[in-house]
Amino acid sequence: SAVISQKPSRDICQRGTSLTIQCQVDSQVTMMFWYRQQPGQSLTLIATANQGSEATYESGFVIDKFPISRPNLTFSTLTVSNMSPEDSSIYLCSVELQGNTGELFFGEGSRLTVL
Amino acid sequence: AQTVTQSQPEMSVQEAETVTLSCTYDTSENNYYLFWYKQPPSRQMILVIRQEAYKQQNATENRFSVNFQKAAKSFSLKISDSQLGDTAMYFCAFMKHFGDDKIIFGKGTRLHILP
């Protein structure tokens, strides 16, 4: 298994500002994923962040809005830029310890509220 | 494109009863994985059970079992002897067997176990 720590756990932000979410894993992993979970909704994949390469973004998500860093095998950040109330959501970091198994381990999420 | 549909937004059952959560999916793939993930009120998502499409035998994990009907593209979760700790959001999910490790989640079923 994996232990994933996310910071901040929650924050209230002003429109137009940016916030960076950190994800720390207790073991080295290749595959890291960032998901968004809007209130009462399912999880939507934002991007896949693999160490040593640029993040791969899903349709509807762009690097300028959600820049991602993956400096090593245990850490990643997701920035939500120029926030609007529509960005209010829970952002989840997840990892897959073994490739092609689908067994994801999740952090507890970062709940952002944009005023 | 793959889709995952959960038709029951919310369910309630008495403790110790058996409950079945429904899931259907659509794909043109022949090899894939199906999952049920649980998200308790604390928000950390965990994997409950996994089914490989090429296996005819239904997966079981203690009180959790699935009814996998490949031809009907149906994948239901049965929880036997339900416990208060089973109260959570349950997400059905899909992943191609050989692909980019992206998991597609359904909209979820909120399950309440009543004392």
Residue of A92, A96, A108 lying closest to B101 (CB–CB): A96
Amino acid at A77: T
A104 has a pLDDT exceeding 80: yes
* pLDDT score for A40: 77
Nearest-CA distance from A80 to chain B in Å?
20
Please write the tens of the pLDDT for every residue from B30-73: 889 999 999 998 778 999 999 999 998 999 999 999 999 999 99
Are residues B102 and A45, on separate chains, in Cβ contact within 8 Å?
yes
Residues of B in contact with A48 (CB under 8 A): 100-102
* pLDDT score for B42: 73
Contact B36, B49 (CB under 8 A): yes
Q: Is A100 on the interface with B (CB under 8 A)?
A: yes
What whole-number distance in Å separates Cα of residue B82 and Cα of residue B63? Answer: 8
Residues of A in contact with B93 (CB under 8 A): 102
Are residues A101 and B47, on separate chains, in Cβ contact within 8 Å?
no
pLDDT averaged over every residue in chain B = 93
Quick one: pLDDT band at residue A54, thresholds 50, 70, 90? Answer: confident
